[in-house]
Copies of this chain bind each other. A is one copy, B any other.
Amino acid sequence: MTSLTKYKYGHFLVTSPAPYVAHVEINQPHKLNAFHRDMWLEFGDIFDKLSHDPDVRAVVLSGSGDKAFTAGLDVKAAAGEGAVMGGEGVSEDIARKATNLRRFIYEFQECITKMEKCEKPVICVLHGVSIGLAIDIATCADIRIVAQGAQMAVKEVDVGLAADIGSLARLPKVVGNSSWIKDVCLTARMFSPEEALAVGFVSQVLPDKKSAVDAALKLAAKIAGKSPVAVQGTKELLNHARDHPVKDNLRYTAVWNSAMVLSEDFKKALMGGLTRKKPTFEKL
């Protein structure tokens, strides 16, 4: 597992455990990997870079340490920055406070959304404490895998808030069971890995964190062995489909593929199928 030297960040570890695979670890285990503003700015920056990095074709995200994927917002740090309060002290006027908060939430949403926008597929491993922001992040991933023992919850209602970094926006598109979604979002209750699998929030449950990360890395390696033209197109077109009528997506797909099918990857992959030799694809 080699370190990706171009990815030096204070709160994240980025390594390359296999060719074309990047592993991003939230690296604040002593704080249960809880986030403050500097961290989500770094988080966005990392996925911006991964998106166009020709040495990366699939990404795995997990938390450092045994305790937590992430415990969500580091409320103390956030309060210190005055961020959550929307610029307390800056103005007493409600419209100005609200404006500051709105800008703050936009920025936060944008950083987390960069993982969804990353052109390379992202596999998220949920393990240990995985509450609040953990779910916002997980719903941005393409594939979700969970380790036994994970404690998952859409926790925001318990701190007097509607979740605002993406859980409410994306859960209805990620899971086809609105009664369950309303239940977990309105009660903030914990749900188990088995429950998450049954309703389709995750697609695999593994016995522990190690095996879950290994499964994620293996899956990432498998994807990284495919044509990057095909893989990145598939991610983009599925994300587009989520938010558009079928007819719109078909048209977008036809335009997209009108150039992509002209790729050498198509010929290489076809030939690889016939000769049963694994093709080598150019970087993308």
Give A contacts to B, CB under 8 Å. Answer: 52, 75, 84, 86, 91, 93-99, 101-103, 105-106, 109, 113, 116, 121, 142-144, 156-164, 166, 168-183, 185-188, 199-203, 219, 222-223, 226-227, 229-238, 241-270, 273, 281-282, 284
Can you show 6 pairs from A to B with CB atoms below 8 A apart?
A113-B250, A161-B260, A163-B234, A163-B237, A168-B237, A252-B255
Interface centre among A121, A166, A237, A259 (most CB of B within 10 A): A259
Q: Are B95 and A265 in contact (CB under 8 A)?
A: yes
A93 touching B282, Cβ below 8 Å: yes
Q: Which B residue's beta carbon lies closest to that of A156?
A: B230
Assess the B231–A186 pair: CB atoms within 8 A.
Answer: yes
Q: What are the nearest 7 A-B pairs in CB distance?
A: A176-B176, A95-B263, A160-B269, A177-B200, A162-B233, A259-B259, A243-B245
Known contacts A164-B253, A186-B234, A201-B179, A93 near B263 by CB under 8 Å: yes
Bound CA–CA A177/B143 (angstroms): 10
